[in-house]
Structures are given as C-alpha cells and as structure tokens.
Structure 1
Amino acid sequence: MSKSIDFLPVILAGGSGTRFWPRSRRARAKQVLALDGERSMIQQTVERLKPLSGPNHTWVITNEFLAQEIADQLKGVPSSQIIQEPVARNTAPACGLAAFLVERENPDAVLGVFPSDHVIADEPRFLKALQKGIQLAAAGDNMVVLGIEPTRPETGYGYIETGDFAKDDSALHVRRFTEKPNLNRAQEFVAAGNYYWNSGMFIWSARTLANAVREHLPETAPLLEKIAAAYGTPQFDQVFRELYPKCENISVDYAILEPRSAKGEHLSNLYCLPAEFSWNDLGSWASLYEYQMETRLRGDGDGNVAETEGHTALEAANNYVYSPKKFVALVGVEDLVIVDTEDALLIARRDHSQDVGKIVKELGLSGRTDLI
C-alpha cells in the first residue's frame, strides 16, 4: 500500500448486544466480551488492523456505558479518540461524525469503518482485501464495501447485488442494496450468484463520506459539522449532547449507500470488493454455537458445546452451555442454549435465541434495570 495514503480505522462499538444476555449488559456488551478466545471482540478488531494502522490512529464510536471499559481494553487508542455518543443514532450519524472530525485535519485520509464484534479468520487475506479497498477509495470519490459470498439464504443480513467488474478486475460495481430479505428472496439471491452479504465494513475517504452525508442527510450534516467544530474545546461535551439527539436515526446503508446505488452502477462510484476470508457476524447464541462447532473450538461427540467447569451428557445433543463456575449435567435435552451468570440464568431453544433481546426489553418494562 502506498505510504502516501493515511488509513484511519473507525470502530463502531455502540451496540448493547442484547441477544447475548445475560452475559452482555449495558456496561459489558458483546463487543467487550471474549466470546471466542482470550481477547474481547473489540480487542481482536483493533489487533487485526495493526499491520495497516496502529491503535494511535484508530477512532472508536461508542456510548457512555462502554467507554471506560473500552478505554481499559484498548490502551493504545488515545482517550480523545474514543467518542461517547450521548444517545444512539444508528450508523449514519456515527460514520458521518467520524468523517467530519477527520476531514477538518486530513480530508484525503481513507477511513475504514468496522463493526467491533465480527470474527474474521484468514487475516492475511483480510489485509490484502483491505489494501485493495484503500487504494480504490483513495483513487477518487469512491465508496467500497467488503462483500461476503453467501453460504446460505440468510435472512438476517443485507445483500449487495453486483454488476460488472471495475477496471482492475477485483472490485465489482454495485447495482443495489437490499436489507434483510425474506426467505424466498434470499434463496433467489443465493441462486443468482451475483449477490454478496453486506459485511458492514466500508472504505472511503473522509471527504467522500462527509460530502455524501451533506448530500443525503442535509438536515443532519450541519449538526455533525458543528459538533466536529467543537471537538477539542471545553464546549464539546455540551454541544455534542445538545445537537447529536437531533440527528436522524438511520443506518449508513439506508441513508447513503442505497440512494447512491440508485444512480446506476456506472455512475455511483460504489464498489463491492468480494472477500476471500472467513467471516462471521456473531449475532446470537445460536450463531456462536454454530461458529464454535464449525471451527471445532469446542464440542463433544454429541454436538454439545460446553464452557463449564466440566459437564456430562446423557442422551443429550446439540446444546450450548455457558456456566464457567459449575459442573453441568445434561439429561435428555436437545437444541438448548443454557447461560448461567452470577445473577441470571437463561434457558432457551437454540432456534429462539434471536428472541433473547426481547427479554431485555421486558426487564426494562418491569423495572429490573439491575439485570440490564
């Protein structure tokens, strides 16, 4: 990669991770948990980017509940670059704010936007794909999304319809984005062969993204610019808290990428870079179970994945158990998720694990904020 290109990662870490309750809480959300190893998800995210950009050049957008834990975990990231959203406003304002902050000092810098909670294997291939994306983003008013070749008709992901290859035969023009289709459409997309999962990883220059926010979010852009102008001053916190809640609550996909793709694939400067690395969006206990089974990190001969002091299973199969301080006995049960923490116990069918977030809402309505 050319040394003249400044590459700055922007890590989105504001989610609450409610589908991993009861391990995840407001101050211990999914991204700060070690779900698949010794290091937390956000630590792994920053570590894999180090060959291209060190932690001192990394920005993190999070919330007030997680900021201190993230600062403790990411010692190399300057505290001034861990931005605490006063309220959640989805990914478009978060990405836009990062763009306006960087644009003031370095408009040509290339920003890479990364969720804080993905699992990526084949890191050399990941870095190679990023290098291609950085070069493409730096070459003009280009937007690059890393696309994942679908392995199943997943209804929980967004899809990217691609067209012709760009000039270098590595990136594809984007025709259209489709958010979370129903099963029939997802099956059609997989069969078509020119659709990719939207990984949520984007690459663009600070100027390109800032101008896109100005174009597609004309009411939000001035608010973000005023917040960015106050950065580094004593008034920053007050301005941030006053103006950010007024920003539109919308994802970067809906706000910028979909209207940009509507211009037509050869006019939008929007590209999909197919990924050749292993990727997993750990979105639920069921997906964590499946990932650990696929990678053989854990699992007995009956398909039980157990993170426990020990376990035994009698006529029990395909269960996920987390109980690090207890011995667990499974008898005659199948396809369960069992998660035991100091103050809560979750028992759910694996195929209902996407609904765990509803429990958190119920706890809030019933006043049990001590469990959230």
Structure 2
Amino acid sequence: MDINLSDLVRGNVLKLKPYSSARDEHTDVADIYLDANENPFTWAYNRYPDSYQRTLKDAISQWKKVNADHIFLGNGSDEIIDLMIRAFCEPKINSVVTIHPSYGMYTVSADINDVELRYFPLDADFTFDIDTLIHFLKPEDKILFLCSPNNPSGNCIDTAIILQICKSFRGLVVVDEAYIDFADTESMLSYIDKIPNLIVMQTLSKAIGAAGIRLGMAFMDQFIVGILNKIKPPYNINGATQNIALERISDQTFIDAQIINIKNGRLTLNTCLESLSFVQKVFPSEANFILAKVDDADDLYDYLIQQSIVVRNRNKQYRCEGCLRFTIGTPAEMDSLIKALYAYQKP
C-alpha cells in the first residue's frame, strides 16, 4: 500500500516555521561566539549543545548501521512518543492505537494531547490475531504503537506480522524496541529505509545501562525526522547527555558482557520461578524481566518489601491479574531474591 507521509502530518505542523537558534544561523566554526548570550567563561558546558546532535548521531549510525539522516534523538523515548502524537494527531479528531496491556506512556501522552487512545486487547498469552487487529484499525487512527518485546509481558511480535501491518495500515507503525537487546528476535531496524511508515524506537536506558541520562533513539524516514525537528525544543539533548552517550556506546564489549549476564540471570530466575509451588505461570520473556502469575500477588509483593526487595506489582493491570514483574538484577541481587522466594514458599 502506497502512503504519502505528508498527508499524515497535521496541517499547522506542516506549515510551521520552526524556531531558529543562533547556531542555526551560523553553522561554520568561529574563534569568537557572541551570538547566543552564553556565559563566555569556559568550562565543559558553558556553550549550548549541538541542537541536532550530529557527532552523537554519526556514532549511533555506525553502531546501529543506520544512516544518520534517519535518526531522531529525544530526552528519553517518552519525549519522542509525545512529539509523534503532537505532530500527527489532531486533538479530538484523530486517535492512536496500542496493544493492551503495554507501556503506559502511550496512554499518558495521548491524554495530554487530547487525542483518543484505543486499546486493542491481547489474548491471555499476550499474543494477537493479525487479521483481527487490521480490522480493528480505523481511518482516524494515525499511529499504532507496538512494544516488542512487550512491557509487561516480555514477548516479541513476529517480524512477518509487523511487516504485514505496515503494508495494511495507512498510518505510522511505531515499534518500541526498548528491550530488543535481550531478545533473540531480530530488530526491525533493517526495514527502516524500505518501509516509510515504520518507526523503530530504542533506548540507552536498558541494555546500555544509562537510564539516568535520558536518551531515546528513533529510526525513521528522513521526512519524519524533519517534521519532529520542527517541533522539538531547540536543545532537547543536553551536552552532558551527548558526551556520556558517546562514551557509553563506544565500549561494545562491556555492553555485550552485561547483556549476557542479564540473560543468564533471566534463565536462572525462570528456573527458580517454575519450581515454586505458589507460581501458577511463568510467561516467556525476551526482555530483562519476567512476568509471573502467583497465588497471591499482593501478599508476595508485601513480603518482598519486608525483605527490602522491590518488584513491580501488576495485579491490577488488564490481563496481568495475579502477576508480579521481576526485573533481572545483579547476580548478588538475584541470589537474594531467589532465597527470599524459597523462604516464602510454604512447607
């Protein structure tokens, strides 16, 4: 199905003349900068950062094997979610769709922008029928969010299913791959330059271990990058974040070692949970967490709190009744959790 991306953009955004910073007006290197009202006394961060994060994008381009022109960076992935809804969805007219249950910020961002969010309910095993989803989508829907691996369930959506949705849907298909580094399922990144309505989000908050610097990455058609650049704040990625990110992604050996440790921890915890009498079901996970259904989620949650161990109680979330979500921690943390779980088990 052919799609014209400009037809999806809100009319006022398409016509918008973006803010022009001082560095946008003069991009060459100079000896003296007296154009941006900065404090002239030099230290690492007295100057405004590069508004378009060129050096960092070049590094990410080499790391992810994606052209830098297809990269957009946000102050966390949450900013990117918000910007996409603002750019493409008319309040009270358009809608966005997400599988349910899934990551909660899709709902929050839609509500903030007064855009209807429609939930497509997953089956009990957190899967869905593609034909049912395609028939669920309406002309008013501008964005479909697919979290893969999904949060809180941990399972991935098959690549062939996502490709079929992209062909059938006349809106944007946003695949949130925050946890993809822990998965055996392939990333959708290789399809970015082939499918114009596909957007892939990734993050430095999970496998890269840099949640504190708040850096989200989105890979998309160059036209969409241009639209988001029009409406983003001028300096949305601060200089410290850019520098730390450059340092962090330069050590792939260290990153790979951490991913292996977390995947090993996931396997160990999975084995433990399946052996416990009070655990009714352990859901297969390709993320850095495991969702498990237990006899009494609230009681087990309170017990773990008493042991100074905090997990996520998902008991009141749709399809997650009776479930707790366990993030994979360090080997020492997992040892403490496993000991606490065995101690909780009734004789």
TM-score normalised by the shorter chain: which range applies? under 0.3
Q: Normalised by the size of structure 1, how large is the TM-score? A: 0.24
Give TM-score, length-normalised by structure 2: 0.25
